[in-house]
Structure 1
Amino acid sequence: MTLHNFTVRAKLAWAFGILTLLVMIVSGLSLKSLSSANDRFSSYVNGLDARAKMSESVRTAIDRRAIAARNLVLVTGEADLELEKASVLNADEDVKSRLQKFDEMIANSPDVSEKWRNLAASIDHVESAYGPVARDIVRLALEHKRDEAIIKMNNECRPLLAALVKATEEYQEYTNARTAQKIEESTEDYNSQRNLLLGICVSALLLGTTIAFLITRSIVSPIRQAVLIAQTIAKGDLTTQITVTGKDETSQLLAALREMNNGLAEVVGRVRSSSESIATGSAEIAAGNTDLSQRTEEQAASLEETAASMEELTTTVKQNAENAAQGNRLALSASDVATRGGEVVGRVVHTMREITTSSEKVAEIITVIEGIAFQTNILALNAAVEAARAGEQGRGFAVVAGEVRTLAQRSASAAKEIKDLIGQSVERVKAGSALVDEAGTTINEVVVSVKRVTDLMGEITAASSEQHTGIEQVNQAVMQMDEVTQQNAALVEEASAAAQSMAAQSSTLNELVSTFRLHQSHAELVPEMAKASTQVRRPMSSKSGPTSGKKILARPLIGKADANWQAF
């Protein structure tokens, strides 16, 4: 398990925890050393040193008592004797008091060795022997037995005093030796504690340095790698393979950079693919718009031709209306002649010939009207087809074309009926020459027939007038379609220019995106997406001329136009 598997918080917590533990260990050992030194110092001050000082004070008190006893022996005056007596007694009490305290120290000190106790016991032993002798000398001096006192002092007191001094000196020498030994032990203990603390401090320093180095390397190395990756991405190189091995924050940063690099590579790949697709599509759109512009111009030319044809058709329909009006007038004249036929039977043959001639002309006119009605129906059907192709703008034109075709059908039906009637009239006129004797009876029928012809001619006249009006509306609609087509042509040219501009911008975008370097796995997405975009079905371009009548009739019509075509 490496440091990369721990978070930065955990690593810092472990590092500071270890350092804190080391500091606590060093502090504990230091406190222990200080406590031990303090105990040794307290033991020295309160034990060994105090006993040494007490032994010195005992020695001082003994010397002072010996001097007072000597002075007591040497003085001769009573006042001096009393004074020296008090000094001797005070000195003796001081020796006893100090020696008692010294014995209590020896008895109450746990660190007193057996030799110390023996030395202290020897002091007590000599003192127990020296005390009675000294007090006896004082007694002799007070009894003015100076010589005996001097002899006793020289013979008994001096050796005991020397032994007492020697015992105190031996105690002090042993105490000094033990003091030196304690100092040496304290020095050795200090050196060992110092070496231990130095070792722990050096170990803590090495361990802290090692931990700091490892943690710093585990943090700085991925951050440097992240900086290099970011600089590489900033230069447009997205081919870097980022490997993440740990679970800490720096590894999470590298993982985030890897996801960002992969996501950016995918986005750039898609943008590159889209830019290439847009470039291809814009080029196709530009080509399609150019083709559409050409076809729109051709359609505009066809509409111009259609407008010219509609003007000719308008003229023809106008002439048809005039002919229908003339036929109506002729029918009225025939009615008048038929009315006067009973009065001028003698002129029936001549009149019937004129009627025959007029009827033949009317038959020819009716034939012309029927042909015009048929052509009008065809033109109205073509106009409906063109209106259907025009879409929303040709809806009104489709309605007008439907009405025109209805009128054309009615005109054709009326013309057919008139033709039949004219045929019957011609046959009757031919038979009238042979049946002149029956002219009276037949003339009435002729009058009725002529009235019917007059009515039909009136209807033909009205239908021709309406047809003329409808054709004019169709002509206006065709002119409007011509204007709209011209506008569409201009818009198509603008769209073609915009498509070419978009193609140029797409090429620029493709050049900008191509600055990014992609890994092979991401680069393979570009041709696949471009291939998928080129598989979209494109519209078939046609550069043919104006649409023929057969192609127009082959397309399905909508609504009423379809029904009228089937009826036709």
Structure 2
Amino acid sequence: MNFSNLRIAAKLWVAVSVIIVALLALILWAGQRSAQVQDENTATQKQMTQRVVAATRWVGLTETNAARTQSLILSSEPAVEAAFKDAIAATSNEISQVQKSIEGMGLRPADIAQMEKIAASRKTMIDLRGKARQTKADGQVAEATALINTQYNPAVNAYLTNLRDFVKLQEQAAADADVATLEARAITTRTSVAAIALIVLALLAGAWWLIRSIQQPLTEANGLAARIAEGDLSQHVTSNRKDEFGDLLRSLMHMSQSLGRMVLQVRRSTDSIATASAEIASGNNDLSARTEQTASNLQQTAASMEQLTSTVRQSADNSHEASKLAARASTVAEKGGDVVRQVVNTMEDINHSSKKIADIIGVIDGIAFQTNILALNAAVEAARAGEQGRGFAVVASEVRSLAQRSAQAAKEIKGLIGDSVDKVESGARLVSEAGTTMSDIVQSVKRVTDIIGEITSAATEQSTGIGEVNQAVSNLDQMTQQNSALVEESAAAAQSLREQAEQLAQAVAVFKVSGGLGLDALAGSPSAAARAPVAQPAAYKPQPAPTRTAASKAVPAPTTIPRAATRSSAAPRDALSPPKLAAAKPVVAAGGEGDWESF
């Protein structure tokens, strides 16, 4: 994979990744090395400290045993000898353990040599101590004392001197370890600085190379864009780069080629526009004449519509008046129907009352009949009583006579009431028929009122519709006048369009495209049709509306005119149609895509 073909983002990420990895590696190495040196120094210091502590203890134990030995030899008390004998042996064993522990700490050659000296001097001291004790045991106290002073004490001093030299040797080793640690740290620091310097140099070299790889294609793209800005579209640049700059160069080259094709098309279009503008002017003249004729017809139509509107409005007013009269008649008929219904209700009440009177008379007749029966029974009982019941018989006879007269009167009243009930029923039936007839009259009047109302509504709608038609005609008249003004403006616009086409042809003449032929030859030869003067249409003059007689004619029901119908339909403009543009003959034929020409 070629690094120069990588995308810019990939290049930057690779550079940043290399820097990060190098810095991380350096940091990890420096940290690991510092930790290693520190661990080694810590281990050395710990070991040296342990040796110094053990040697110091060794010195103390030796001095203690030396003092005990002197006391043991110089003292004549058996108790002292008994007390120090075991202590000296125990301390000697402890010293032997300390010596073994020091020897097991991994000594250096110098340490081993010093330990050999210490061991030899210790052996000499132990031998002299044994000899002195043996001499004293033999009873030679003076010789033993002289041995202690002349031989044992110098041997002890030599032994202690060797031990102290060992301690100094360990202290010197610790100091040397500190110096070595500082030196190792200094080496690590110098190595890190050198590595950082190398990384910085590599970064500078990589930055120079990356800047150069970015700056060079940018310079090429800038030069190509500058030449395009100057109008030179004949440049040809090839780039094999696969990154964004290669895409930019190819895009600029594609833009240059597209601009060249567009300039050719613009020049061809200017001739077509010039031809089309001349045809637009001719069409505007025809449209102006047709617009004047349309305006005259619309004025006549408006006058007729005004007369028709007046007639329909008068019919609507008459329908409104008839509707009011029908409404009044309906109200009177409804009132008559209400009165008849009240009479029918009154007759029904009288009929119910007559029936109740007949029932009461029937009750009275029943009472008289029962009274007659009771009087007859009383007469029979009085006859059975003989002389004692004679007076009661007379009373019963009178009561019977009264009951018979009451029954006769009740029968006559019942007959009269029955006749009255029949007449009342007949009258109620007639009144009910009259109420039904009045209801029919009321319904008929209501239907007549509704029909007249519908006629009135239809007349109103007709008046409204004709008014809308009249308004639409007025709007058409106004639009026609506006169209006439627009025709004049369109003619002026066509002339301006022709002039702009010439200016556009001169503007694109500065461009150079593939082929070698400049646009100057094309800019100086616009079509003859474009140079032809454009005739200005005559100004529109509204014609006076003709006077019409107010003839009353049947007018059909108006229909609502949609708003879209009030707009004048635009005449087809043949001069601007695509076939016409396609048929426009260019002044200069276009060259092939493979040729290079300037125009």
Q: TM-score, normalised by structure 2?
A: 0.45
Higher share of residues assigned helix: 1
Q: TM-score, normalised by structure 1?
A: 0.47
